[in-house]
Chains A and B, each alone.
Chain A
């Protein structure tokens, strides 16, 4: 089992949607929110995903398909 950490940003029109819940239903991953800021016009979460690496990869793809921007917890690594 792997533990990977991500910074997930929601598009403005998706803020009311229970996206993380849906991802937990669609893929075999455990999600643990450590920090978040959700407002009317912006929303981001710092989340730890636990599961098989392939399953986490699919969950991340699923988040992107739903319009989320997913980055490593460190944000931009390439300088």
Chain B
């Protein structure tokens, strides 16, 4: 028996075969992978997982692939860092950083979802992969396609910064700069996905791609000694990551791998692009799209596909949402770096900024076991902090200058 039962519409429930489709033909609702949990329960165990590969593929029983992994074999199983210093600063006794800054191979959590998407794309017979992206996703798709020997097309807006373009070109995919607005890129890619037999990772293979995010929850629970945290803080772009972390914890609970899940799921956005957090603050169950204007580019999704489901998840788990200004994002990046030695990209600054707010408001309490998700590496967004970290201290190459500069005493 296959562990994947079907793709099911999240709105009307209509089921489809597990092919490269992503929208319900009936109501146009998004499709999600449905599993046979009885089948999975018969074979999964903590011991089996612990004996598995040292990557996200140790959770293969709960991932939407039919065979063995063929792409992204080393993704995942990133450190869960006990953040003593940051915890002391924020007044949280047991704080952890789930550090996807060091994910393999492109230093962001996208390596998880792309590993699953491309492995599944190969199973479905695709030879070409594609994505529309301004950063981390493109890097990951291009790198994985390169190692898998798949053809790759990356679509980017024409005004993207040179460093981000380079981060794609190094892997030699076809990088297509589109002349036009962000909306033009959006529309064109959607149309190409409908025309070509290509695996567009966040369009026609999105139901499989999105499941990769669950592995963050699986790893968290295992690394905590097979328990769910009391609180998690998750950055939100489309909102998918937050919903999948919740789904992952609930799957472990359903399968008896952890006890009852009472985790509060909290969402973090930058104020310059906070359609979901704003809806939450206003007590609405729907969001209004916005034009993004924030340094947190990897979260700058103005019309988030999973925004409604993120609101639902936070309500169901009794969590909260908040947003931070760009200045607070920079402060968050620096705080994490200076307390825990972790240099996060701007999305990480958003997470830390909101973690700080929630702790200050008493929504995260001193004794809550708390996990903050850091999803990308700061070396990718250096421009965000370059003007706020000071300059090196310049001295003459002499011991006396050095001693004088730092007002040190002469050694005895």
A and B: real partners? yes
Within 8 A of A (CB), among B45-79: none
Q: Which segment of A13-21, A22-30, A65-73 sits at the interface?
A: A65-73
Residue on A nearest B182 in the bound complex, by CB: A78
Q: Which of A9, A37, A46, A78 contacts B134 (CB 8 A)?
A: A78
Q: Which of B27, B131, B304 contacts A75 (CB 8 A)?
A: B304
Residue on A nearest B308 in the bound complex, by CB: A37
B303 near A79 with CB under 8 A, answer: no
B304 near A5 with CB under 8 A, answer: no
Within 8 A of B (CB), among A24-76: 34-35, 37, 39, 42, 46, 48, 69, 71-76
A79 near B131 with CB under 8 A, answer: yes
Number of interface residues of A (CB under 8 A): 21
Number of A-B contacts (CB under 8 A): 82
SS class, residues of chain A in contact with chain B: strand
A40 to chain B, nearest CB (A): 12
Within 8 A of A (CB), among B295-340: 298, 301-305
User: Does B238 interact with chain A (Cβ within 8 Å)?
Assistant: yes
**Knowing A5-B28, A69-B289 touch, does A74 contact B134 (C-beta < 8 A)?**
no
Which size class do B's interface residues fall under? 35 or more
User: Does B286 interact with chain A (Cβ within 8 Å)?
Assistant: yes
B11 near A35 with CB under 8 A, answer: yes
B28 near A71 with CB under 8 A, answer: no
Residue on A nearest B133 in the bound complex, by CB: A79
Q: Which segment of B184-192, B216-224, B355-363 sits at the interface?
A: B184-192
Q: Which of B23, B186, B286 contacts A76 (CB 8 A)?
A: B186
B303 near A77 with CB under 8 A, answer: no
User: Does B87 interact with chain A (Cβ within 8 Å)?
Assistant: no
CA distance A77 to B183 in the complex (A): 9
CA distance A75 to B187 in the complex (A): 9
B378 to chain A, nearest CB (A): 19
B226 to chain A, nearest CB (A): 32
Q: Could you show 16 A-B contacts with beta carbons less than 8 Å apart?
A: A5-B28, A9-B289, A34-B27, A35-B11, A42-B286, A71-B183, A71-B187, A74-B202, A76-B301, A77-B190, A77-B200, A78-B186, A79-B131, A79-B134, A79-B202, A79-B238
| For the complex of A and B, 5 pairs with smallest distance between CB atoms | A72-B190, A75-B305, A46-B28, A78-B132, A34-B28
